[in-house]
A and B are shown apart, each in its own frame.
Chain A
Amino acid sequence: MPDAAGLDLIAEQLAAVDGDCLIGHSFERGRAELQIDPAKNIQVLQWLSDRGYSFLASLHGVDYYPHEPRLGVVYELLDMHEVDRISVKARVSVESPDIASVVSLWPGGNADEREVYDMFGVVFVGHPDLRRILMPEDYEGFPQRRDFPVGGEPVLFTYNEQGYGEDR
């Protein structure tokens, strides 16, 4: 992790490149985090990638219910030469959960973005194949959201499959 001063420096340089892309930055308990405008995620990630944070270690979703905007997409970037990590967080609302896909930057983000779409309903614009990945294709709802209830999932057996086949 860059230290607090290092993070301030990165934020300052980033603000000099594009003043609107950065919403804030925080350094807490050893975790350096940049909060960015979701509309400009590609520019920020490209800039960080060019600075050395070129390995996308993880991409995951978070639901900040009841705070708005609810959904967060977190990019954990890693600089393998300096052995340094930085997190980039973009937050989108449930009403317009659109954010640009990073598959063009990191092909490995493909499965992660599908998982975030599957679990939180964040739509990654420009993703080559945005389908559910872990849940069944016809599943309704986004199970990792905080207002999604736990339990009560009906189990699909042959006997309770209604309306399938000619004899039903």
Chain B
Amino acid sequence: MSTVSDYRKREESVTYSTEPAGPGETHELLTINFGPVHPSTHGVLRLYATLEGEIVRDVQPVIGYLHTGIEKTAEDKSYWKAIPVVERMDYLSYYFNAMAFCGAVEELLVLEVPKRAQYLRVIHLELDRLMSHMVWIGTFALDLGAMSPIFYCFRQRELLLDLFEMSSGQRMHTRYFQVGGVAEDIPQGFKQKVQQYLDQAPAVFDQLADLLENNEIALQRLRGTGVIDEQTALSLGVTGPLLRATGNPWDLRKAAPYSSYEDFDFKIPVGTVGDNYDRFRVRHAELYESLKIIQQALDGLPEGPYIADDRKVVLPPRHELATSMEALIHHFKLVTEGFRVPAGESYYPIESPRGELGCFVRADGSAKPARVHMRDPSFHNLQALAPMVRGGYIADFIATLAALDPIIGGVDR
């Protein structure tokens, strides 16, 4: 028997039979399959849900449908060519993926990033956080049955994508971050465009809150559903807004600042109960904090180089290629072989919109990484789904899954 038919046989062995909920019980347990292609799974996520009537007794996520082997692919590329592939893991927070990878490599190279580049990174990271939260609020409301917020959210997202296009030429997967800084300085007029965005955004965010918070149906569906306590969340490795909704103010931007986050004044919103309502409030309050950070970074954007000056790592400026032989040699070496990174390992954690995004890079002294691993927050947060939904209604299960904000590209990598 071939392995394929063996696999099919095992697929057939999965039964969706009913059985009594317990000894002496007349209720029946029903196992249903949910996904992998279902609009409210936010990607290709498959869930086995065991139901007793309307009550969810257990949920088992089955993942791997979007596994693309990015970690393996990155091992086959030189460091600077690996940036575009790692960006494609969590497809809503591409700036964060690039930041984690570049940060890990910079740590191995002991490379100082210029202040202007750090500020430009912060501006783009926070714009990306806004973009990710916009998609989240829109789809979350859609899963609750509220149709209109997604239109407002995606209009805002479009403005953000236009800003990304202006600074990097790409709307998504921008590859703007480079080892040592950013790929290019911001174009003329970018600051004004960001300012325009910042000026109009708070009104739209207020409007979104009004749409959901003054809505009795939404409130009834959010309050007290999908509750998880702090200790369970910590033992399951949950981070980000989900952990903050339980009341733990853990945010790496504050706790262990990277890329000049210590220069900015912002608050960490926390929840109290850890239910879906708190998750919505925490993410919604984060929007305003992100705006504050961007405003400060924009106002205080220092002059200076946008990328480090180490010619062994960073491409020489274009205009030097015509006049300097040395620059031409460096350019040739960097483009053909890439730069070599001294042997060692590093783990670089940052706060992505979903939690701790850590990049582990092992260098073996060559121009290609020997191992790239992303600690993706969605992968760990998804484990908290079963404790959140056990004992609740199946309708709340959909709301909780949406509130979890799993990005399957990040889960499966």
Contacts and interface: CB of A to CB of B under 8 A. Distances in A.
A57 B63 CA distance: 20
Interface in B84-133: 107-108, 110
A31 B5 contact: no
A163 B360 contact: no
B255 interface: yes
A134 B383 contact: no
Contacts of B362: 62
Interface stretch (A6-14, A38-46, A91-99, A140-148): A140-148
Interface in A69-83: 74, 76, 80, 83
A110 B383 contact: yes
Q: Which residue, of B75, B345, B413, has the highest number of chain A Cβ atoms within 10 A? A: B345
A58 B375 contact: yes
Interface residues of A, number: 46
Interface string B370-393: 110101000110110000000000
Nearest to B347: A76
A76 B360 CA distance: 10
B64 A135 contact: yes
Contacts of A54: 234
A152 interface: no
Nearest to B375: A58
Contact of A164 (B5, B67, B371): B5
A161 B9 CA distance: 13
Contact of B238 (A80, A108, A111, A134): A108
Taking residues whose C-beta sits less than 8 angstroms from the other chain, chain B's interface range is 35 or more
B318 interface: no
Contact of A107 (B108, B235, B250, B370): B235
A57 B237 contact: yes
A86 B356 CA distance: 16
B237 A137 contact: no
Interface in A113-168: 119, 132-138, 140, 143-144, 146, 148, 150, 156, 161-164
Contacts of A146: 75, 370
The residue in B2, B64, B108, B362 that gathers the most chain A C-beta atoms within 10 A of its C-beta is B64
Interface of B: 1-8, 10, 63-64, 67, 69, 71-73, 75-76, 107-108, 110, 234-238, 248, 250, 255-256, 344-347, 349, 356, 358, 360, 362, 370-371, 373, 375, 379-380, 382-383, 412-413
Interface of A: 28-31, 33, 54-58, 60-63, 74, 76, 80, 83, 85, 87, 106-112, 119, 132-138, 140, 143-144, 146, 148, 150, 156, 161-164
B375 A60 contact: yes
27 contacts: A31-B344, A31-B347, A56-B237, A57-B375, A58-B360, A58-B375, A62-B345, A74-B360, A76-B347, A85-B349, A87-B345, A108-B238, A111-B379, A133-B64, A134-B64, A134-B412, A135-B64, A136-B7, A138-B3, A146-B370, A148-B72, A150-B75, A150-B76, A156-B4, A162-B2, A162-B5, A163-B5
B380 A164 contact: no
Nearest to B3: A138
Contacts of B10: 137-138
A62 B371 contact: yes
A83 B375 contact: no
B360 to A, nearest CB: 6
B119 to A, nearest CB: 22
Nearest to B108: A29
A31 B346 CA distance: 7
Nearest to B66: A134
A144 B72 contact: yes
